[in-house]
């Protein structure tokens, strides 16, 4: 994955950032760091991978179902419009197709959240009859 500078895109109001701001977009989360992104004016859906690692944004974009690199990402020094749309949705408090907030997670936080999710609380211990001991 490549390090991405969204601040530069925003400050320079690049074509990628401008499209992410002006075009209606459908965002569907498919994994903790992956989304399907479809702009209204496009026939293609793109698979975007984006997360933070020690504060840096890392990501890439591919056209589905081929898996080819997104032309806007492959031939551009910065992030494509699809990556910009996810970043903008994150800080703009936008929601995905299920009404859930779009959030870009940090890899360290995801590891801890996964561990927390599977850890049993101490006050609830299983007993032989399948119930909870109180």
Summarised one tens digit per residue, pLDDT across range 55-72 is: 999 999 999 888 888 998
Angstrom CA distances, 70 to 3, 49, 106, stand at 16, 12, 24
Residue 111 lies in a domain: no
Q: Which domain holds residue 10?
A: 2-106
Residue 102 lies in a domain: yes
Q: Is the pTM of this model over 0.85?
A: no
DSSP code, position 89 = H
At residue 131, the pLDDT reads 62
Work out how many domains the chain is built from and give that number. 1
Summarised one tens digit per residue, pLDDT across range 72-103 is: 877 888 899 999 999 999 999 899 999 999 99
Residue 71 lies in a domain: yes
């Amino acid at each position: 994955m490549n390090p991405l500078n969204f601040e530069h895109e925003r400050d320079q109001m690049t074509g990628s950032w401008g499209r992410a701001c002006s075009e209606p977009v459908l965002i569907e989360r498919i994994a903790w760091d992956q989304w399907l992104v479809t702009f209204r004016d496009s026939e293609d859906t793109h698979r975007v991978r984006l997360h933070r690692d020690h504060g840096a944004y890392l990501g890439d974009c591919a056209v589905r179902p081929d898996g080819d690199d997104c032309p806007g990402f492959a031939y551009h020094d910065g992030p494509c419009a699809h990556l910009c749309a996810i970043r903008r949705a994150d800080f703009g408090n936008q929601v995905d197709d299920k009404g859930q907030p779009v959030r870009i997670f940090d890899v360290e936080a995801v590891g801890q959240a996964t561990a927390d999710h599977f850890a049993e609380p101490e006050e609830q211990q299983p007993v032989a009859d399948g119930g909870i001991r109180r």
